[in-house]
Copies of this chain bind each other. A is one copy, B any other.
Amino acid sequence: MAASTNSFLVGNQTQIPSLKPKPISQSFLHLTKPTTTTTRTKPVSIRCASTATVGSDPRVTNFAAGPAALPENVLLRAQSELYNWRGSGMSVMEMSHRGKEFLSIIQKAESDLRQLLQIPSEYSVLFLQGGATTQFAALPLNLCKPDDPVDYVVTGSWGDKAFKEAQKYCDPKVVWSGKAEKYTKVPSFDGFEQNPDAKYLHICANETIHGVEFKDYPVPKNPNGFLIADMSSNFCSKPVDVSKFGVIYAGAQKNVGPSGVTIVIIRKDLIGNARDVTPVMLDYKIHDENSSLYNTPPCFGIYMCGLVFDDLLAQGGLEEVEKKNQRKAKILYDAIDESRGFFRCPVEKSVRSLMNVPFTLEKPELEAEFIKEAAKEKMVQLKGHRSVGGMRASIYNAMPLAGVEKLVAFMKEFQARHA
């Protein structure tokens, strides 16, 4: 992103409130709305410079694991449309989910996602609620009977949670667990024994907490079985051959939108077998038949996902996005590996996540200082998950290269001072 200068008008799409400075706790009832007349007849020209220098940005460099940073152009677009979406006279938050405006939004979101992931026509795309955690129950309730065996490969905390929830509804077995090695590995696919009768094989494609990512995918031993992947933390971060999976599911709040939207991509022939005790909102058939509009969906969240999908396509699609993610991850892992042990990443090199980079310090007593000093430099959310400690830099699609470069520069400078 080179520095550039732009001038623009305060027009219809950008309504500005009159804000009088006051404590947050106070009411803001006195806010009044501008009329179009004014903004139409008195356009105001503002010149402003755009720059990639993160330091000059009013915003922080946000390494949060999710909810996480969103693309700035997406946020600015959402801001410009929030009060009056594209001349509709309504905010997206005010639209009937059955009106033509919102239908155009959800339909474009789905078709853009289908284009991004090259989703075959025999798969349905569902926009749901409740997070991946709700899917941990929905999967067995829809896809197997109480006594059916199913296999789980557990490479981190999320895979383990998915397994534990499945225990309520079927006969799941952990066919491989990385727990003894503190979740730093992915098994070789012939390194674990699948149940030949397992209805499905479940993996978590990227473990957000431990930074372990599948680079390829195992094939179910049962010829009638299928693979299920929780892709919450690496969804749309790279191309994926959807045809290898029976179900792909993901919470939106890492790579493609705000929290409150869960995307399920499911092979159509797997839909329609929910048990009688399945809550109607967990029945894939209900959502598929109603195009995700059985009840009121999380409309604004779906709209935000749609803006992100549009942005990912504009970047050249997931091949280009993956290249950017690989470059970002490489400079960070290189900085760790070339620190002569000052920084350490416990994850086996071949399966290190492009999205979540956990690392520790040779001198653990310096970790709090590292996080504190980084925050002073406006680099936030670098603390590791409470269950593993250390540091974690989540560098999802929306993290600019400049943000990672800033972190790496800080790491080297920190090491120079404390080595």
Which residues of chain A have a CB within 8 Å of any CB of chain B? 4, 6-8, 10-20, 24-25, 27-39, 42, 44, 46-51, 56-60, 62, 64-70, 72-73, 75-80, 82-84, 86, 88-91, 93-97, 99, 108, 129-134, 136-138, 141, 165, 168-169, 251, 253, 257-261, 276-277, 279-282, 294-301, 304, 310-311, 313-315, 378, 380-381
Contacts and interface: CB of A to CB of B under 8 A. Distances in A.
A6 B18 contact: yes
Contact of A35 (B12, B51, B90, B260): B51
Given A46-B42, A89-B59, A301-B300, A94 B67 contact: yes
Contacts of A83: 59, 72, 75-76, 79
Contacts of A73: 17, 28-33
Contacts of A48: 18, 34-35, 38-39, 42
Given A58-B84, A131-B129, A296-B259, A19 B27 contact: no
A62 B95 CA distance: 9
Given A38-B48, A91-B70, A8 B13 contact: no
A152 B337 CA distance: 64
Contact of A29 (B18, B136, B315): B315
Most buried by B among A19, A42, A72, A276: A19
Nearest to A258: B93
A245 B64 CA distance: 40
B14 A8 contact: no
A94 B64 contact: yes
Contact of A79 (B15, B49, B108): B15
B80 A96 contact: no
Contact of A68 (B75, B94, B130, B297): B94
A27 B311 contact: yes
Contacts of A68: 94
B314 A258 contact: no
A134 B260 contact: no
Q: Which 3 A-B pairs have the closest CB atoms?
A: A27-B314, A260-B298, A32-B50
Contact of A280 (B35, B56, B137): B137
A296 B251 contact: yes
Most buried by B among A64, A94, A310: A94
Nearest to A278: B168
Nearest to A131: B295
A150 to B, nearest CB: 16
A134 B287 CA distance: 13
Contacts of A72: 31, 33, 83
Contacts of A168: 276-277, 279
Contacts of A64: 94-96, 99
Contacts of A91: 70, 75
Given A48-B34, A72-B33, A279 B279 contact: yes
A168 to B, nearest CB: 6
Nearest to A386: B98
B14 A19 contact: yes
A22 to B, nearest CB: 12
A88 B67 contact: no
A134 B279 contact: yes
A44 to B, nearest CB: 5
